[in-house]
Structure 1
């Protein structure tokens, strides 16, 4: 009888462990709200947040450049129609927008008709615009230059509602802007460990941002650069949901073990 009681106790522990595994997989993630410490943050800390710095033009960037002159026909010689950036994902229109413009070659130069090659790598769009305006003034009278990125793209992957690559209409884009375009995080996304991958002159840089904390505003990665990749990891609930078949199997086994325990108990 003692042996039987020991068997029953051991099997009861097994059932308890199985049930614990099941219930632990269903624990909800309470860290849902963003910036949970915002009420207690010193305003001076927010006032000293990292300021936006204009991104620099790099090789393989595509620039939309338009030069307007008093003689419209003269300006049309070097202008290339700028496509309107698409806020969607990898649509044909989005790809067309990325392929329209002047490619910055490996030497960091763009080649413009009548003006020639202009080195723009390492410059901001404002600096490049002024440089091209000065060179255009040698050929045209009172030229007006418009220049912007035609391929300012960020990619948002993982647990968001609309993962995709997004071509943006301006270069002042924050991590929050990008996540908004992607439809925000799903309920399964980890808000405390957002990964950003950045290509800085051929070298990869990585950063982890916590949306639950206001410290995000002090990060050098709060404002994005062209070609940044944002990855939202799944939380434990998503991992558990992905293993639903395994969880169901555990439930069946636990039920069978429970029946066996009850059957053995009835013979006491």
Structure 2
């Protein structure tokens, strides 16, 4: 059973996490102002233009391994350590301070956020999401929940953030992780559901002592029949 002691978290504050922009993220940046024509040089796509997700990904700003993007007119800009909201505010102030636009509005979103779910789930695969925060349980639900053979006491989460690789272990039968570092999923997280003990045993040809005895009994019976 999941979250066997969850009642102790009743009426507790939800602690959302900040997602900073990482290398290989694709950003959609829209700049608007009172005079729409003045923002044309700062937008890859005309304001109000309708695009499919595939085109948005192609037209988006790919963050380099040095955490920079090449923005029109302004050139190379670092996004290191900033959330989309923080970078939006930074870009707005930069456009104003350098005299490019008057009182602009800037919207920044990560449009290729995804999580990979592997192992003992009903639908393993890569799942995209557009929300700013999704929980570990939401990510597992997208993958069709754990199979009955999944090990609920030790879910592995692999996270790459700010040049560091972090490994987390979550016990779904407890609720301690709800307010922890891995309670929410971040873009590019890898979630691995390992098989339970019985599943591992059943994967072998000879799984346990009863199976071994059964095999021995069959072999002994065969030998007796042949030698009669």
TM-score, structure 1 as length reference: 0.69
Question: After the TM superposition, which residues 37-56 of structure 1 pair with which residues of structure 2 at under 5 Å, given as runs?
Answer: 37-39=5-7, 41=8, 43=10, 47=12, 51-56=15-20
Higher strand fraction (1 or 2): 2
Asked if residue 72 in structure 1 is aligned to residue 42 in structure 2, the reply is no
Asked if residue 254 in structure 1 is aligned to residue 217 in structure 2, the reply is yes
- Given the superposition, is the C-alpha separation of residues 212 and 61 from structure 1 closer, same or farther in structure 2, using an over 3 Å criterion? same
Q: Which runs of 5+ in 1 are unaligned?
A: 1-32, 86-92, 262-268
Greater C-alpha radius of gyration: 1
Q: Which runs of 5+ in 2 are unaligned?
A: none
Question: After the TM superposition, which residues 70-149 of structure 1 pair with which residues of structure 2 at under 5 Å, given as runs?
Answer: 70-81=34-45, 98-137=57-96, 138-149=99-110
Q: What is the Cα deviation at residue 52 of structure 1?
A: 1.7
Is the contact made by 1:62 and 1:98 (CA closer than 8 Å) also made in structure 2?
yes
Asked if residue 215 in structure 1 is aligned to residue 179 in structure 2, the reply is no
Asked if residue 36 in structure 1 is aligned to residue 13 in structure 2, the reply is no
Equivalent residue of 1:196, what SS? strand
Equivalent residue of 2:81, what SS? coil
Is the contact made by 2:32 and 2:105 (CA closer than 8 Å) also made in structure 1?
yes
Counterpart of 1:6 in structure 2 is none
Is the contact made by 2:21 and 2:84 (CA closer than 8 Å) also made in structure 1?
yes
Q: What is the Cα deviation at residue 236 of structure 1?
A: 2.1
Is the contact made by 2:24 and 2:65 (CA closer than 8 Å) also made in structure 1?
yes
Higher helix fraction (1 or 2): 1
Aligned residues: 215
> 1:117, 1:214 → 2: CA distance?
44
> 2:52, 2:175 → 1: CA distance?
34
Pick 1 or 2: higher relative contact order, CA cutoff 8 A, min separation 6: 1
> 2:9, 2:20 → 1: CA distance?
32
Can you list the C-alpha shifts for 1:212-258, whole angstroms capped at 9, x where unaligned? 01112132111122221110001123223323x54597434334447
Equivalent residue of 1:176, what SS? helix
Asked if residue 57 in structure 1 is aligned to residue 21 in structure 2, the reply is yes
Counterpart of 1:172 in structure 2 is 133
Correspondent of 1:191 among 152, 162, 167: 152
Equivalent residue of 1:192, what SS? strand
